[in-house]
Amino acid sequence: MRVPMTEYLLIDLDTERWICRVCAHDFGDARGNYKEGTLVYDRDPREIHPPVIDPEKYEFTFSPDPRFCRILEFYCPTCGTQIEAEYLPPGHPPTVDMLWDIDSLREKWEAHGGNPEEVVNYGPGENAETDLSARFDSASAHSHSHRTEGH
């Protein structure tokens, strides 16, 4: 049984592993921190948030100050999907943002009885209905580039 946990991550309850929903990359023990299976890049925030007013003339420009703020980008090592972007002070340990009780997760879904990949959606409303089954299943017959393009 596979449970979609975020836009790009699922937990396979049979193997108890964090899995990339896009390409099936294995990020590690589902009882642990999925970030340990990622590639990380320390991004200068000025590259993402460009200045609107001239940084040569002014200290405050719409761009974050890299001495205060860094953006850690977490990538899937296989498909290169950016699964998380964390804003942190320079040198601050990355946040362990999610730790799940796998036994409880299994119990809850077994009690529910449905297939999580069919049941889970984005919430109420017609336009929030979505197919959260693993993309690598439906994309297995397609090329890698198409598979990672998104839906």
Partner 1 sequence: MTLTTDEFVPTSGNDDDASQLLTDQEQQWVDKFMDETTLFLGPDPAIMRHHEIMPRTAYEEQCIAQGIDPIEVDRIRKRLAGALDEAFEMCESMGAAPGAKWADLSCAVYTAEGDVTYLSNRGVIAFSAVLHHPIRYIMKNWKDEPTVGINEGDGFFHNDSRFGMVHNTDQSMLVPVIRGGVIIAWVGATIHEGENGACEPGGMPSGSETPFDDGLRASPIKIVEKGHLRRDLLTFLQHSTRDPKLMLADIKVKMGAVRRIMDTVDRLIDEVGQETFVASLRVTVEDVETEVRRRIGELPDGTVTFNQFVDSTLKENILIKFACKITIKGERMIVDLTGTGPEILNRAINSPLASTKAFMVQAILSYWWPDLPRSTGAMSPIEVITEEHSWADAGYDAPVGQSLQASFRGFSALQSAFAKMQFSAPQKYSNVVAPWFNQINDFLWGGTTQNGEQVGNLCADLNGMGGGAKAFRDGEDAVAPLFCAMADIGEQEVMEEEVPFLQLVSKRLVRDNQGFGKFRGGMGYEMMVASRGTPSWGFMTVTSGSKFSSVPGMFGGYGCPVYPLAMVKNVNIYDIIKKDPTQFNLSMERVMNEQPFEGGDYQSSHMGLQFDVAKEGELYMIAQGAGGGYGDVLERDPELVVTDLELDRISAHTASSMYGVVWEPGTYVVHEDQTTELRAQMRRDRISRGTPYREFVQKFVQEEPPAELHYFGSWGQDNDENLIATHWGGAEPERVTGRLAELPLIMVPDRRVLKINKLEARVRELEQKYGEVVEHKS
Using CB under 8 A as the binding rule, the residues of this chain from 25 to 64 that contact partner 1 are: 35-42, 45, 48-50, 52-54, 57-64
Q: Taking the CA of residue 15 as centre, how many other CA atoms within 13 Å lie in the half-sphere pointing to its CB?
A: 12
Which tokens belong to 144? 């890698």
Q: Which residues pair with 71 in a beta bridge?
A: 43, 87
* Number of residues binding to partner 1, judged by CB under 8 A: 88
Q: What is the DSSP letter of 118?
A: H
Q: Toward partner 1, which CB reaches closer, 127 or 141?
A: 127
Q: What is the Cα–Cα distance from 45 to 17, expressed in whole angstroms?
A: 32
Backbone angles phi, psi at 20, to 5 degrees: -70, 125
Shortest approach of partner 1 to residue 115 CB, angstroms? 10
Which tokens belong to 88? 């942190």
**Taking CB under 8 A as the rule, does residue 17 contact partner 1?**
no
Shortest approach of partner 1 to residue 89 CB, angstroms? 6
Sites for partner 1 among residues 91-150 (CB under 8 A):
91-101, 104-105, 108-109, 112, 114, 116, 119-125, 127-128, 130, 144-146, 148-150
